[in-house]
Amino acid sequence: MIIDLSLPIDDTLEETHDAKIDRITHADGVEHFNWVVMNKQPGGKERFEKGERVATKEEIPDGEMLSLEIVHSSVHMGTHVDAPFHYGSQCEGKPAKQIMDVPLEWCYGPGVVVDFTHMQYPQNIHKEDVIAALEKINYQLKPMDIVLIYTGGDKFLGTPEYISKYVGMMPDAVEYLLDQGIKMMGIDTIGLDRPCFEMFKEFLETKDKSKIWPSHFLGRRWEYCHMERLGNLKAIPKPYGFTVSCLPVKVRQAGAGWARVVAILD
């Protein structure tokens, strides 16, 4: 059985960085085909603008060309993997890995669901909460486990709460996971840290460096990746004993890549 844990890139959602998708329909594809071909011919652009065409709908099977979608989106929209480069230019004293450099071994391995659905905003997850959640399922983390942080936050997708009122991970909780040899973790909220606008407000009021992206910035001292915007963690029928695949799309010189994250059960 394969369980989809991914959310789509969705241009209907209002976000900090909105996505825009240009959709060329099958019928419109005929006109697009003419434009692409003629635009590359000497004088073709002018002939196209005058109404000349190299192919008509009647000459195309069923009058339809291939569909085409052009996506204008941050690499942090939809379910994605953040690479060390997202956290800073340096990691552990050397150039940080971009998404193309992330070892695939980090992206496929034993999964563990750590349940925090009993918590709600404005609570945040601390080290002692992680320890308690692991004790509840009688599980001891192993190096290279892929930890899935289940808050239930995906149920608010499309609402203001999804963006600004969710349960985040505090740095002591993330550091505890890293101490156990975890290289990949993921959360079903818009971000790993607590809600960003709260962080921004406290940072601007105090200029306290510890208030801004503390869990992300741990990735400058510890080499690790994390997934954001997971979904459907409730569908995994057991807390461990399954495999997670979260292979990211290779985007050149980028700090993140979209991923189709799944849980695989025998």
Show the tokens assigned to 239.
Answer: 């807390």
Domains identified in the chain and CATH numbers: 2-13+75-264 (3.50.30.50), 20-72 (no CATH)
End-to-end Cα, the chain, rounded Å:
6
pTM assigned to the model: 0.93
Angle at 75 between CA 21 and CA 97, to 5 degrees: 160
Where residue 220 falls among pLDDT bands split at 50, 70, 90? very high
Determine the Cα–Cα distance for residues 210 and 197; give it in Å rounded to an integer: 15
Where residue 194 falls among pLDDT bands split at 50, 70, 90? very high
The per-residue pLDDT for range 109-138, each reduced to its tens digit, is: 999 999 999 999 999 999 999 999 999 999
Determine the Cα–Cα distance for residues 87 and 97; give it in Å rounded to an integer: 10
Greatest C-alpha distance within the chain: 73
Alpha-carbon dihedral 203, 16, 152, 157, rounded to 10 degrees: 150
For residues 32-38, average pLDDT: 94
The answer on pLDDT for 15 being more than 90 is: no
pLDDT given for residue 74 in this prediction: 95
The answer on pLDDT for 199 being more than 90 is: yes
The answer on pLDDT for 16 being more than 80 is: no
Q: Which of 10-14, 33-37, 121-125, 234-238 has the lowest mean pLDDT?
A: 10-14
The per-residue pLDDT for range 82-104, each reduced to its tens digit, is: 999 999 999 999 999 999 999 99
